[in-house]
Structure 1
């Protein structure tokens, strides 16, 4: 390589190095602060291409999007002095780059650690004034809104960040008390089940007794009506027979004798001993039944 080429290479490298230390870009998803010997001179650099003095100015860039801090699950006591293990997370973003840089030296992980501590402090205060029922379901939304508002004020003043939302992921009982709680809940459910079964059996017995009573009433009424109808029929039949036989008494006596003959001589070996002049044979001797 010639001397001229070497000089041009050195000059090109120097120019690129100067440009690299002079020009910088802030993306739309970023926030940045401009420092001069470590002092903040521009706390809100707009997105785009910018110029700085090499070796004098320095630029610190931060993520301007919404970030997530996952707080470690902590054990808190409720108003009834019952322990709960609460797991939560928060959404935040940088709004004051100068304050954020001053408080955390521009380290996002450090900001997350400070926010996680404040989230747990807020949860401890809110859970301590509520019962288990209120924490789990009754006032859970109100609890998270209160924590978000309180934490947002502190975070904006101390860290230069805005807390967008705080959410509880999971609420559990501590392992040392969960077994006893589950056993008590199981006993209560079994007691409630026994009560429901006894009530059901009592109701079933009442329904069954009412049904049996109704069946008895229906059968007795039906038997009464049947007997009434049968009596009326028998009376009508007797009346008709009486009228029929009363119109010709001799014919009635004749038919009775025939029925008596039929009933008396049903088998080939039947024997009947009677006097020859018995009234039993009067219609056999004389069609008119005279002796």
Structure 2
């Protein structure tokens, strides 16, 4: 085979290789002809182009992250804050994207960051410190995402998926006084809560003491009533027993009196021998 033939084969192979290109599912591409956009709607798959005359620019179509460096913004109260944020974005209109950035991703990042900084500066300037830190933070992020998306879709051909603030810090020179003031405010709230708690505790104790007195009074009343009923029943039983056999009843009462009188050996009694007290000691029949 002649050298000229080999060279021709090699040239044809290079032309064939340069004539074929592939667009992945995760990519977007534009076809240029002499530097001008010929086709900005290339679908994923295998395509052909004219070498030298045509050129293909391929870009990442996935969601990308712009992790911006922290910036300082002022609230409506003129409080300066150091804000660390990020933006999630992706290419939406590849033709507009290429015309605006030349297909350079870093150029798109820089322009998007400038727009995001302007949006954050404007939104922070409308709100107080409490609102941007906690009160309206989610609402602020949603509003900024919508506004930023509307601006960059037309100018840059990209879609802003989300804007988020990772961290908000006070500048080093003011963080100490701010934290001291926050600590003082929290201590004031704590004292107020403790005072209200003590007041409520006093009310609860007073109510508990009142209920205790009422319960004890009712219990004492019920106990006295039960005791009176018991005494009345006992007296009735004694009366019935006495009426049935007065002599036996008198004998039992005398035995009880003897038992109580002689319970303590140290006691001394002076009683007339003819006293009624010795009635059943002298005679079991009490005569």
Structure-2 change in CA distance of 1:268 and 1:147 (3 Å): closer
Give the structure 2 partner of residue 174 of structure 1: 170
Shift of 1:123: 1.2
C-alpha offsets along residues 77-117 of structure 1, whole Å, 9 cap, x if unaligned? 122222331412131205142x4334323211111111111
| Structure 2: distance between partners of 1:57 and 1:142 | 47
Structure-2 change in CA distance of 1:20 and 1:201 (3 Å): same
| Structure 1: distance between partners of 2:257 and 2:61 | 123
Matched, 1:152 2:129: no
Matched, 1:6 2:3: yes
Q: Assess if the C-alpha contact under 8 Å between 2:29 and 2:94 holds in 1.
A: no
Give the structure 1 partner of residue 67 of structure 2: 70
The counterpart of 1:19, out of the listed 16, 33, 41, is 16
| Structure 1: distance between partners of 2:145 and 2:225 | 87
**Aligned-CA RMSD value:** 4.3
| Structure 1: distance between partners of 2:271 and 2:66 | 126
| Structure 2: distance between partners of 1:185 and 1:10 | 80
Shift of 1:168: 0.8
Shift of 1:157: 3.6
Q: Based on CA coordinates, which of the two structures has the bigger radius of gyration? A: 1
Aligned residue pair count: 274
The counterpart of 2:78, out of the listed 54, 58, 81, is 81
Give the structure 1 partner of residue 185 of structure 2: 188
Matched, 1:129 2:126: yes
Give the structure 2 partner of residue 163 of structure 1: 159
User: Secondary structure of the equivalent of 1:188?
Assistant: helix
Structure-2 change in CA distance of 1:125 and 1:33 (3 Å): farther
TM-score by length of 1: 0.71
Give the structure 2 partner of residue 51 of structure 1: 49
Q: Which structure 1 residue ranges, 5 or more long, are not aligned?
A: none
| Structure 2: distance between partners of 1:222 and 1:203 | 28
